Every structure is written in C-alpha cells, then in structure tokens.
A and B are shown apart, each in its own frame.
Chain A
C-alpha cells in the first residue's frame, strides 16, 4: 500500500511538470502582463525595464527552468496583479472551492443515488420518467444560465437566499469555513446546487444503468428466489455491486468539479480558486496562473489515488490480491 502511494506521488511530479510545461507554452499567447501592470502614462522604457526585471524577455526554456526550480524550492513567486505571494493567495482560496465542491458532491450523492435506484426499479413509472426528464433538462442548460436563473428566482424575486459571495465565514485554524454559520450555509445552497446538478444527473443515470444491469444478473434472481427481503436485496446485494464504476466516475468527476468550478464561482462571485484564476487571466497574472494549474494537476492526481484506494476498500477481491 505504501509502495503504491509512493509510486503515485512520483508519477504526480511528472504530471505536474508536464502541466507546467504546457501552461508555460500557452502563457505567451495570453497577452502582455506588463501593459496590464502599468498605468497609461508609464513610458515605453519603463515598461521595457519592468519586462526585463520580471524576466519576460528570457527564452522560454530559461523562464520554465526558473519557474520549476523556484517551485521545487517552495518559492511560488509573487502575483503580478496584487504583488502578494502566490502561495498565500492560492491557499487562501482553497477552502472556498473545496467546500463548494464538497457540498455539490454531497447533494449529487444524497439525491442522485436514491433517485438512480428508484428509477432503475420502476423504469416505467411516471415519477421515474419525470425525474429523468427534469435532470436531462438540468444538464442540458449551461451552468451559468442555471446559476443566473437560481439567483434571480431565489435571490431577487423571493429574496430567500444571498446572490453572491460566501456570507459569514469563520476562521478555524487558518481555514475559512462556511459550515459554521447559518449565513454561510445560506450562501452555499445556490452555488452548490448549480455546480452539483451535472454531477447529480450523471450519478443518477450511472446508478440507474448499473442497477438495471445487476438486477438482471443470476445472483439477484437466486437471491429473490431465496426470499431475501427486498430492502436488503436492493441495497446490500444490488447497489453495492454497482458502486465500483460509480465511484470511479464520481471520483474523476470530483476532480473536474473542483478544477472547473470556474463558471459557478464567477456567476456567484464565490471567492475560490476558479474566480482567482479568471481574474488572473484577465490581468495576465502568469505566476498565479502557473501555480493554479500545477495545484489543480496535483489535485487530480490525489483524487485519482483516493479513488484507487477506495476500490480496495469497497471490493474485497482487490484486497485479497493485494495481500498476496
């Protein structure tokens, strides 16, 4: 197990290097940071001097080498936009994004799995058909439209929920959390729903398909014949056998939810990583963009590793193989 984790971590270094390389190769097309950093009256010479100071005139290889070696030393550099240390900016935004992603995931599981089981067991029922239709609509509308619709209905028209930001947060050992205040939870509902709706649909449809497949298998038929109680049959025997593919997809999706919560965060002015990344693109804030992409790559690697570890926990056959 330890060997497995170590191997994954070594792999992750290469993944991050590759991401950093690609990101760096793209940055030169994003725009000119210096013209974003200086006022209109700054002379061309002063701009050129700043460009030189920042090392933007150096060849690609030199810039990339400097970026990676600095990163390896733990020096993440300073933002071109705010002049703050990038490490501090990124770490300040991580809680917002993780909490949002976590609640979105929770919503998708709590609603998605039971709905998937239900629609699998009663595929032709009116309720099932309605659920399928509604979620299909939900997944076909772009995220930002869903977000804006939710904001205007629940925020502006009814006035029930806040339209932007995180509301009340509490700092627990350096982690700004929304979970400890009512205002924080109220602010979480709309963005988490917006972010979770795609996940929810995916989870539900996956559970449904797997469940229908399993329900046709021999062992379920034998179990039915043996008179295993329905609840136990569905949830113990059938559902748990559908979970391996479901966990794979959900796990991989969770990486995506975190990485690409950009749209949701922008619509709700949610101060997470995605919003920071958007602001950074607008200002051609190369240090922040670079570190963000590497952090997201690391995150993907970790999520994948956790998914692999969960397999072992869920599927006893893998545990046996690992022991030998």
Chain B
C-alpha cells in the first residue's frame, strides 16, 4: 500500500537536482514514537499530527524557534476598527505544492473546513462569528468579543488549497472514513510528501517553490515511527537514523557516553500536577474516612502540597532535569505570573500540623490515580509522591493504568486525587484557566478538563476579562489575581515542567521547540 504522489514528483526531482549542486546538502532520517494518524490538518488535533504537518502546511502565522508568533501566509495583522476581530493581510506570490496560487479564497475555504462539524480543531474558531474576504489578499475574522490572542491561537490552523480539496472530494475533514487528504498533501510549506506508508515510512522532499528562503540543507527526509524505546535507541546508535525524539531518561547516559552522538535537552511547556475531587462529598477509596471529603478543605490540600519534596523527586527520578512549577504554566509562557512564582515549600512538620488543625491528626487514606504511559516516569513519580504523602499521614492507595483508560475514569469522577499534565495549546496562561480552573460548564465549553470541578466565582468572572483585555498590563493583573486565588485555594498542586529529551548524531543541528514540535526547516546536516 505505497501511495506515491506522482504529481509532486516532478517538483521534487527539481528540488533534488537543485540541492545536489549545493555543497552540504544531505538526506536526513528521523524517528519518533508515534506515526501521525492522518495527513489531514483538520481531522485530528493531536501533537504528532500537528507537529508533522507543520512541515508541509502553513498557517496565517507561525511560531519561531522561541515560540514567538511571526508572519507566515499573512504578512501582517491588525485589529478591526469599529468591531471585534482581526484583519490579516496575506502574502502575495505564494503557491501550493501543486502549483496553484494562494489567495484569500483558500483561507476562507480552510476556515470553513476547519470549523465544520467534522473538524477536530473547530474549538479554535469558537470565538469567530464571521469571516469576510475583503479582496484577494485581505481577510477579516470577526469575533464575538475583543480577542487579543486570536492570532496566537490559530498558529496551527493550516491552509489547504480550495481547488485541490474540492477537485479531490476532500472539502470536509475525514472524520469517520478516509478521504483524499488523509493520504495526500498539498501545502504551501517547505516540504512535501513524496511517499507514505502509514505506520512504516514517510518520505519528505523539499518544495522548490517555497516562498521563504530555506535555511535547512536536507535533500530528503525519511520519517519512521519506532514505538519501542530500546529499538529507537539502537537505531540511532547503529547510525540508521540521525535523530530521535524522545528518548527515555534512563538512556541519556548511554547516548552521552558514545562518540558521535548528543542528547538535546529542553523544557516542554507541559506542567505535571495533582488534582483533587473538589466537589466530591466523600472519598471513594478511603478505608478510614468514608463519610466526607477531607480534600474539600484547603488546609488538607496545602498539607498535601507541603508533603512533596520536589528536590528529591528531581534528583532521584529525573536526574536533575526538571524545573519545579508554581502554577499551571512554566515561566516564560505569556501570562505567567511572576508575582506568584513560589510554590509551597517542602515542610512535612507544617503539613502534619495543618492536617491536625483540619481534624485529621492521624491522617487518612485515599485513592490516587495515575497514568503509567502518558508522561515521563509518571508511575515512578506517583510511587514517590505516595510515600512522601504517607510520611505526613496521607496514605495514598495508588492505582495506575494506561492513558486509554484514564480519561474516561476521571470524567466519571472515579478518583480522590489524580495526576494530570497540561500543555497550554495557545502558549498562554488563559488556556489552562479556561480548561482547568473555570467551573465545568458544558454549554459554554469551559472547564472541560477540570475533573474535580474546582470552582471559584471570582476566577469564573476573571476569565472573560482576561480573554477580552487589550491592555497587556491590565490583562496580566487579572491573570496574577487568578494565580493568586488558585494558589491560595490550592486548586491543584503544580509539580514540575516536563523535560524534553531528544537524541541526535553529533553532526545534526536542529531546534528543540518548547511545544515538542520538530521542524525540518531548522535542520542542518553537517
């Protein structure tokens, strides 16, 4: 089942010939744990898909190496005058990989496609009430309220060619069954797919007609998914691949100890935290306290936070590679509250005193739910945390399981305390406030990952203010207040920012972006 995209071959071979005259042009092979499920940029909103397709398709804006927003298919954008929304001026002279020209009709079409019922990325367009094509290179997005972050929030909104999609019967994302766009691509980006065998191998070649100047020197890039971590490491060390992401922490020493290989370490934007069943009226997994929920008391939640020795967890489980977290986003993300950068100090004595004050001098037992295949060292982390909790009298009955089973359990309130990792999709503090801190509200689609239903009326009041505030200082003041409130309430126990650990051959230069996306256009093979 090898699909070759013949139409692209002519362009691809042109690019290869061109590149062959360059002095240092090289093929490049890389591996990652998961194959992108689809080549359709609107069908599945998962990191493997969006990361991969960002090499092929482009949005109106894109993120730079430091995650900042920069012009891509739009050259500039300004707020609309007299109404809420944004006007984007589009880049002229851009062509799709099949040679057809890019203009505002394609953006309009892509908007309709991405906001359709069958799309998995339609939540990005929830604030949008109307889209207007002004002329061939100007398009306006009208929003229901002021939305200063709208351009940032659509960095992964990828533009398809209207003519191509309609001609190939792919005007809607393939939700239930495949369509042409599941296997075939036609973007404006730096790479195009020359062959794809799902789950086995995908070969990309540079797009010679890309509007931007290519800074990479890759002539052909081959991607192989390798699910087994040991196999992936062996493939790197035997030289069959040039780069792999991620590698397990325990293999770091193996790679560093060998000549010709290097480990790339960075910080992801994902914050790992414990959450509580705030609205539960009793514990589900306790053997001693069965008539009430001690975690409803902020003192008990604070005691739990003080029981955790992050320095030891860092040293023992993570080889010193994690950064302790004070709030739901790491420092450096927009909206991060500098004013509230301290997390509760490790203090088991104070924790015991707080428990006694709350009426549990001998502690109590409860159930702690964790994943065992979702985050780095997640199971080990929970074991360590359980023993630290036990030291102050909080006896955690730990149960761990694969992630495929995990979210449904949390949705059904089947926990006393649980583990969660959150990466802010928009790279802004507003994102976790919307999903994790706002009271659950299915109508307004808010608080959808706030499993324990933490609820504070002031936080709910502040969220729309944050979303609509144009003045950065005022906006930050609102966010500072939210962080302050949720820290005082101990809504969650933020633990640390998850590290990003990749490995490559010594002669590969690449950029490790904090969203764990891998961009081929920043690869240099020396």
A interface residues, Cβ below 8 angstroms from B: 30-32, 35-46, 50, 53-54, 78, 81-85, 88-89, 92, 148, 151-152, 155-156, 159, 162-166, 171, 176, 266-269, 271, 275-276, 278-279, 281-284
Contact = CB atoms under 8 A, between A and B. Distances in A.
B228 interface: yes
Contacts of B234: 148, 151-152, 155-156, 163-164
Contact of B199 (A151, A162, A276): A276
B425 A163 contact: no
Nearest to B233: A156
For chain B, give the interface size range: 35 or more
A44 B182 CA distance: 25
B interface: dominant SS: loop
B43 A271 contact: no
B177 interface: yes
Contacts, number: 145
Contacts of B449: 40
B121 interface: yes
Contacts of B201: 165
Nearest to B440: A44
B448 A44 contact: yes
Interface of B: 1-2, 35, 37-38, 43-46, 120-124, 174-178, 182-183, 197-201, 224-228, 230-231, 234-235, 237-240, 402, 404-405, 407-408, 411, 425, 435, 442, 445, 448-449
B404 A54 contact: no
Contact of B182 (A37, A83, A164): A83
B180 to A, nearest CB: 12
The 8 closest A-B pairs by CB, nearest first: A39-B45, A31-B404, A92-B1, A32-B408, A41-B123, A31-B405, A43-B445, A35-B407
Contacts of B425: 40-41
A163 B404 contact: no
Contacts of A39: 44-46, 120-121
A181 to B, nearest CB: 15
A81 to B, nearest CB: 5
Contact of A267 (B1, B228, B402): B228
A159 B239 contact: yes
A242 B129 CA distance: 79
A34 to B, nearest CB: 9
Given A164-B224, A271-B197, 11 more contacts: A32-B407, A35-B404, A41-B124, A41-B435, A78-B176, A83-B182, A84-B178, A92-B197, A267-B230, A269-B226, A279-B199
A43 B38 CA distance: 21
A84 B240 contact: no
B241 to A, nearest CB: 9
Given A163-B231, A164-B226, A83 B408 contact: no
B198 A268 contact: no
Contacts of A42: 45, 120, 123
Contacts of A176: 2
Given A31-B404, A37-B44, A163 B240 contact: yes
Nearest to B405: A31
27 contacts: A31-B402, A32-B405, A40-B45, A41-B123, A44-B411, A44-B448, A45-B442, A53-B176, A54-B176, A81-B37, A83-B174, A83-B175, A148-B230, A152-B234, A156-B237, A162-B240, A163-B234, A164-B240, A165-B200, A266-B227, A267-B231, A269-B226, A275-B227, A279-B227, A282-B227, A282-B404, A283-B404
Contacts of A41: 45, 121, 123-124, 425, 435
A88 B231 contact: no
A122 B177 CA distance: 62
Q: Which of B201, B225, B231, B240 counts the most chain A CB atoms within 10 A?
A: B231
Contacts of B239: 159
Nearest to B35: A279
Contacts of B175: 50, 83
B75 to A, nearest CB: 28
Nearest to B198: A82
